[in-house]
């Protein structure tokens, strides 16, 4: 059984120890969770360490140990009766979604919560701990090799701090959000993190990661076919997509339509000699299949608005309004609306963007529409920016 005292800090490295640790974790109302992983040379992230803590207990779990079955901990992560607390949850959620088969839920992301509490935009864990707990996080072990065993005492101590501080940050953030009546804001924001589609690795949907430059069917068919080919191969070989073929190469293929080895060899973005390789041959098959039947491969994409440029300085005025309301509400502007939201609001009468739904509409969206309609105006006052009715 892992001890909570610094002198006896150790890894949970076998299944019996893990079962005992999970019994302790079950006693908490929430679990603060973090991971250490590597994925620089792989498609799938390689999990190297799991850190978990309640208010009364914490442990470090070694997923690389040959004597451990993670099932007891994964069952705990899949338990929907207990909140899982992360900081900047996206990558950790991706790892557990693959291991469990579904995203852990419910979750609390302290980075999102910090934005809702006015503590900064995408605040780092180090800064959050400093602001909330007046404590210091030693990040010197952050980029060490977490695959190598044995892990050093310094690495373990660093990793432990990622959850022992996080649990106290959660308590403080939750109390502040409840006082402000903003817990619902966090639930809305984390909906995307608990949506299985967020972690979709179906090769047929790989084209959605690409920037669509042309609406033509022949171009779209090649983007979809080549993206699917690359995704399948990346997963099969467990290599990053860019190690198979970079996005620039996918785009160049979609535009130039090479049908044979010689044509592909002339493309700048495709590595020299790749066309003659085993994988180059399967790529040419994917290309020619899409060229022969674009209707079968081209995905349906939403039509772009005919007027993509906001009139005059509407976008700039909306940004000023966003900054003003975010300061009034003491919340990070990006939590309310991003640049794409602002552009769509400037262009469309009733845009279907996140900033025009739920609490964001109450805080910003309704005022943005009124500003466009000339029903409110923005002026400079002695205390800063002032919004008033026209």
Residue 293 and residue 322 in contact, taking contact as beta carbons nearer than 8 Å: no
The whole-number pLDDT of residue 311 equals: 62
**What confidence tens digit (pLDDT) does each residue in 138-151 have?**
877 788 899 999 99
Domains 11-199 and 203-292 in one fold: no
* Whole-number Å distance between alpha carbons of 168 and 32: 9
Token representation of residue 105: 């839920």
Q: Where are the domains of the chain?
A: 11-199, 203-292, 312-389
Backbone region of residue 43 per phi and psi (left: phi > 0; alpha: psi in -120 to 50; beta: other values): alpha
**Of 198 and 1, more confident:** 198
The three-class DSSP label of residue 265 is helix
Give the Cα separation of 313 and 372 in Å (integer). Answer: 11
The residue among 369, 367, 372, 373 whose CA lies nearest residue 388 is 367
* Global confidence as pTM: 0.89
The CATH classification number of 203-292 equals 1.10.150.80
pLDDT tens by residue, 40-62: 999 999 999 999 999 999 999 99
Nearest alpha-carbon partner for 170 in 104, 125, 140, 105: 125
**8 A C-beta contact, residue 61 and residue 12:** yes
CATH T-level assignment (fold) for domain 312-389: DNA polymerase; domain 1 (1.10.150)
Q: Which CATH number fits domain 11-199: 3.40.50.1820, 3.40.50.2300, 3.90.226.10, 3.30.420.10?
A: 3.30.420.10
Q: 13 near 205, Cβ under 8 Å?
A: no
CA distances from 7 to 115, 144, 156, 167, 246 (A): 36, 22, 12, 21, 48
Going by C-beta distance under 8 Å and a sequence separation of 6 or more, which residues neighbour residue 13? 62, 65, 67, 68
User: pLDDT-derived band of residue 7, with 50, 70 and 90 as boundaries?
Assistant: very low
Distance of CA 126 to the CA centre of its chain: 19
Backbone angles phi, psi at 128, to 5 degrees: -65, -45
The overall average pLDDT reported for the chain is 93
């Amino acid at each position: 059984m892992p001890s909570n005292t610094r002198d006896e800090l150790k890894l949970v490295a076998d299944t019996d120890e893990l079962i005992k640790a999970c019994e302790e974790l079950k006693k908490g109302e929430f679990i603060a969770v973090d991971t250490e992983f590597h994925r620089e040379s792989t498609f799938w992230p390689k999990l190297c360490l799991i850190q978990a803590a309640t208010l009364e207990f914490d442990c470090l779990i070694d997923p690389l140990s040959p004597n451990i079955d993670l099932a007891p901990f994964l069952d705990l992560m899949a338990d929907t009766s207990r909140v899982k607390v992360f900081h900047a949850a996206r990558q950790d959620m991706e790892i557990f979604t693959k291991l469990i088969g579904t995203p852990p839920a419910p979750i609390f992301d302290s980075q999102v919560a910090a934005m809702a509490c006015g503590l900064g935009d995408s605040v780092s864990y180090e800064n959050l701990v400093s602001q909330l707990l007046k404590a210091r996080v030693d990040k010197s072990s952050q980029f060490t090799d977490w695959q190598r065993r044995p892990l050093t005492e310094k690495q373990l101590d660093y990793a432990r701090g990622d959850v022992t501080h996080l649990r106290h940050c959660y308590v403080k953030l939750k109390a502040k959000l409840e006082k402000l009546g903003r817990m619902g804001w966090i639930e809305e924001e984390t909906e995307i993190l608990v949506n299985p589609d967020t972690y979709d690795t179906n090769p047929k949907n790989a084209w959605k990661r690409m920037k669509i430059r042309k609406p033509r069917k022949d171009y779209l068919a090649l983007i979809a076919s080549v993206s699917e080919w690359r995704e399948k191969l990346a997963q099969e070989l467990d290599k990053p997509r860019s190690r198979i073929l970079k996005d620039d190469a996918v785009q160049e293929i979609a535009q130039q339509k090479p049908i044979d080895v010689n044509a592909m060899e002339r493309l700048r973005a495709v590595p020299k000699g790749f066309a003659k390789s085993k994988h180059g041959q399967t790529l040419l098959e994917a290309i020619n299949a899409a060229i022969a039947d674009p209707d079968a491969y081209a995905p349906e994409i939403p039509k772009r608005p005919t007027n993509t440029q906001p009139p005059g300085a509407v976008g700039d005025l909306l940004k000023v309004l966003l900054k003003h309301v975010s300061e009034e509400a003491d919340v990070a502007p990006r939590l309310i609306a991003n640049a794409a939201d602002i552009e769509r609001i400037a262009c469309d009468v009733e845009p279907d963007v996140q900033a025009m739904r739920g609490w964001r509409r109450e805080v910003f969206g309704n005022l943005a529409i009124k500003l466009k309609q000339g029903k409110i105006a923005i002026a400079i006052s002695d205390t800063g920016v002032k919004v008033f009715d026209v």
